């Protein structure tokens, strides 16, 4: 990544502080929990805010200058995050558009794809998403059956994807498809950039989750035609692209992505922590509550320190890129413990929002309902444990009946 700090961190911080105060609206922490049926306005707002950042010279802080970013250091990004904490930012765009999709294109895309797609995202003109999981695939991403077949110079895409975060709001999707059925499953895949607006043969449906959100989607491809320029990386080398994409996803989930700007990735105020719940009830002096708080705060601190340590080690080559799964796993453990201990401190009122501060209780209740999401996003925690054991610790690989045989011969379903 190009890194050209042209001004000191202190000067950058001072410039950001003044610009934020003059330009950006303050964050509204009083917003109610939950999601609206029609959130089009929120996505349009995110685009507007990103355009403001770009016009002010604060968009794409860690992205290379040749693709529209500033090419600055992580210290510059941290300074901006600290100064912007009180302001409304386009956090919706952090995941998956910047931290995963744009980052993957930087590593594996063509010069044209990087200039056009990454540049447009930084300018606030386009949003990207991932099209990876499939209805029949479970955690076996390489076992996907969405297919792309040549038609002259084009490709024809058929199949289905699911659990695609924010696909309904995105302009482009990174879609992994099978292009060769006569080689082992990892070798016959190709990554494509698929336009999601007005594409003939493409259907996008939204999926309602337990918290009322409809941010996940399912997609159906019926003879969707794509030009040869849609291929990311090389034909039949899509697993290389997907592996890099999963690295960025685990980094993002673990809190170590250099491409996230601002604090957070969600549209709503973050779920209250156990400390927030304890303070709202004036129970911080209760010995049992202190034990629950200590357990949570200690694990959160371990995660925060591990993010820096593992990120530095990956950067120097002391640890392999697969070590990002450590951060992804720790993130899930912190989220689970936070939701569980918030519930233990709040008691039954968390379910109905009837405590001394109903707004906090309501958000904590939603947080508990969604706790398992931390086990699934970025690949399941079970997969993370496998990756750590096999690729970081060097333990024997898990047995696989479909290894090294042509995918056409792999038995599926019944």
- DSSP-derived secondary structure letter, 37: S
| H-state helical runs in 84-235 | 103-108, 111-113, 119-122
| Residues 23, 52 contacting (CB under 8 angstroms) | yes
- Distance from C-alpha of 291 to C-alpha of 191, rounded to nearest angstrom: 48
Which CB contacts under 8 angstroms, 24+ apart, belong to 76-82? 76/5, 76/9, 76/12, 77/258, 77/261, 79/9, 79/12, 79/13, 79/16, 80/12, 80/13, 80/16, 80/261, 80/262, 81/261, 81/262, 81/263, 82/13
Of the candidates 370, 390, 54, 106, which has an alpha carbon nearest to the alpha carbon of residue 251?
106
Confidence grade of residue 33 (pLDDT, cut at 50, 70, 90): very low
Lowest-pLDDT range of 161-170, 230-239, 376-385: 376-385
pLDDT digits (tens, 9 = 90+) for 169-208: 999 999 999 999 999 999 999 999 999 999 999 999 999 8
Lowest-pLDDT range of 54-63, 117-126, 129-138: 129-138
> For the residues 152-164, what does the mean pLDDT come to?
96
Q: Does domain 9-126 have CATH number 1.10.150.530?
A: no
- Distance from C-alpha of 222 to C-alpha of 245, rounded to nearest angstrom: 25
Residue 294 has pLDDT above 90, yes or no: yes
Query: What is the per-residue pLDDT for 269?
Result: 52
> For the residues 333-362, what does the mean pLDDT come to?
78
Question: Which residues on neighbouring strands pair with residue 154, listed in sequence order?
Answer: 151
Lowest-pLDDT range of 68-77, 144-153, 339-348: 339-348
Q: Does domain 271-392 have CATH number 3.40.50.970?
A: no
pLDDT digits (tens, 9 = 90+) for 271-289: 789 999 999 888 999 999 9
* All CATH 2.40.110.10 domain ranges in the chain, comma separated: 130-242
* All CATH 1.10.540.10 domain ranges in the chain, comma separated: 9-126
Instruction: Tell me which CATH code domain 130-242 carries.
Output: 2.40.110.10
| Residues 367, 353 contacting (CB under 8 angstroms) | no
- Distance from C-alpha of 273 to C-alpha of 293, rounded to nearest angstrom: 9
Of the candidates 244, 269, 271, which has an alpha carbon nearest to the alpha carbon of residue 100?
244
* Residue whose token pair is 């105060």: 21
CA distance from start to end of the chain: 47
Q: Strands, E, within 245-329: which ranges?
A: none
């Amino acid at each position: 990544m190009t890194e050209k700090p042209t001004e000191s961190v202190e000067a950058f911080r001072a410039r950001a502080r003044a610009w934020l105060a003059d330009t950006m609206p303050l964050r509204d922490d009083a917003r109610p929990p939950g999601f609206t049926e029609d959130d089009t306005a929120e996505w349009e707002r995110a685009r507007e805010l990103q355009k403001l950042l770009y016009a002010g010279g604060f968009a794409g802080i860690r992205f290379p200058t040749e693709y529209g970013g500033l090419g600055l250091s992580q210290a510059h990004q941290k300074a901006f995050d600290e100064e912007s904490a009180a302001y409304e930012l386009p956090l919706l765009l952090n995941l998956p558009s910047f931290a995963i999709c744009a980052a993957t294109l930087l590593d594996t895309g063509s010069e044209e794809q990087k200039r056009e797609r990454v540049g447009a995202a930084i300018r606030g003109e386009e949003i990207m998403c991932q099209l990876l999981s499939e209805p029949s695939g479970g955690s076996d991403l390489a076992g996907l059956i969405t297919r792309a077949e040549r038609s002259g110079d084009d490709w024809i895409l058929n199949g289905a994807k699911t659990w695609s975060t924010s696909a309904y709001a995105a302009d482009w999707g990174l879609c992994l498809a099978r292009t060769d059925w006569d080689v082992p499953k990892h070798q016959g895949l190709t990554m494509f950039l698929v336009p999601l607006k007005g594409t003939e043969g493409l259907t996008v449906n939204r999926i309602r989750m337990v918290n009322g959100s409809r941010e996940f989607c399912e997609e159906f491809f019926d003879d969707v035609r794509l030009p040869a320029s849609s291929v990311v990386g090389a034909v039949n080398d899509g697993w290389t692209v997907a592996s890099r994409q999963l690295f960025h996803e685990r980094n993002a989930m673990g809190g170590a992505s250099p491409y996230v700007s601002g604090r957070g990735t969600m549209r709503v105020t973050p779920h209250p922590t156990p400390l927030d719940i304890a303070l709202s009830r004036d129970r911080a002096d209760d010995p049992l509550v202190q034990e629950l708080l200590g357990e949570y705060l200690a694990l959160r601190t371990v995660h925060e320190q591990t993010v820096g340590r593992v990120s530095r080690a990956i950067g120097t080559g002391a640890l392999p890129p697969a070590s990002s799964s450590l951060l992804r796993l720790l993130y899930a453990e912190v989220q689970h413990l936070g939701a569980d201990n918030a519930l233990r401190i709040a008691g039954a009122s968390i379910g109905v929002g009837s405590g001394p501060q109903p707004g906090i209780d309501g958000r904590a209740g939603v947080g508990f309902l969604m706790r398992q999401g931390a086990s699934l996003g970025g690949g399941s925690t079970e997969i993370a444990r496998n990756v750590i054991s096999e690729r970081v610790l060097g333990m024997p690989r898990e047995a696989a009946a479909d290894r090294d045989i042509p995918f056409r011969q792999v038995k599926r379903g019944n």
